Structure 1
C-alpha cells in the first residue's frame, strides 16, 4: 500500500479518470475500482475520498444524482463538461510530472550537467 502523502496530489486525477471511463459512479464503487485496478496497493478511505468529491462538486466538475436502492440512498457522481475538460488536462499534467520524476529518480545526477 502506498503512503497517503504519495496519493494526496493524485487522488483527484484518479477520480476524474474513473468517472470519465465509467460514466456515473458512487463513492464505495470508486474505492473498490481503485483497489482492484491497483491490486490492492491503493486503498482510498472515506476521509480522503469524500472531501475531494465535495470539492469537485463545488468546483462544477461533477454533478450528483441520488438513487434509492431498497432502503438506502446512493449518491452517484458524473463528470460535467467542465470536468471532462479538466480531466484531460489533469491526466496530461500528471503524465508529464511522472516523466519528470522518472528522470530525477532514475538518472545518475552525478554525471548530468547542471543547466
Structure 2
C-alpha cells in the first residue's frame, strides 16, 4: 500500500490510478520509478508510493487498454515506459472529473456549516 508521512492510506486509496493517468498525460511517457519520484516531488514528500501498489495498478491499467508500454534498452537493463492509449486519454478525463466532483462534494459536507434550518 502507501507509506505516507502526512496522509493515511485510507485517504489515498483509490486515487493512485488517477494520479498515474494525470502524470502520464502531462509527461508523455514515464517508467515506474520515475512515477514514484514525481509523486514524491510534487507532494513535497507527503505521498510515497511503494512498488507493491504501483505495479499492480499499472498492470490493471495495461490490461484494461488504458496504458501501453514501450521497452527501451538502457545499458544492460531494459526500462519499461508507460503511455496513455487513446482510450486512456478519454478515461483520464472521466476519472479526473469524477475526483474533482467528489472533492467538491466532500468540501460541502466536511468544510461548511450544514445547519441550514433552525431546529424545531
* Within-5 A mapping of 1:87-98: 87-98=92-103
Instruction: Give the counterpart of 1:106 among 91, 105, 111.
Output: 111
Number of residue pairs matched by the alignment: 112
TM-score using structure 1 length:
0.94
Where do 5+ consecutive residues of structure 1 fail to align? Answer: none
State the 1:7 CA deviation: 1.3
Moved runs in structure 1, 4+ residues, more than 6 A? none
TM-score using structure 2 length:
0.90
Are 1:77 and 2:77 an aligned pair?
Answer: no
In terms of fraction of residues, the more helix-rich structure is 1
Secondary structure at the counterpart of residue 60 of structure 1: coil
Aligned counterpart, 2:13 = 8
Instruction: Give the counterpart of 2:23 among 5, 18, 34.
Output: 18
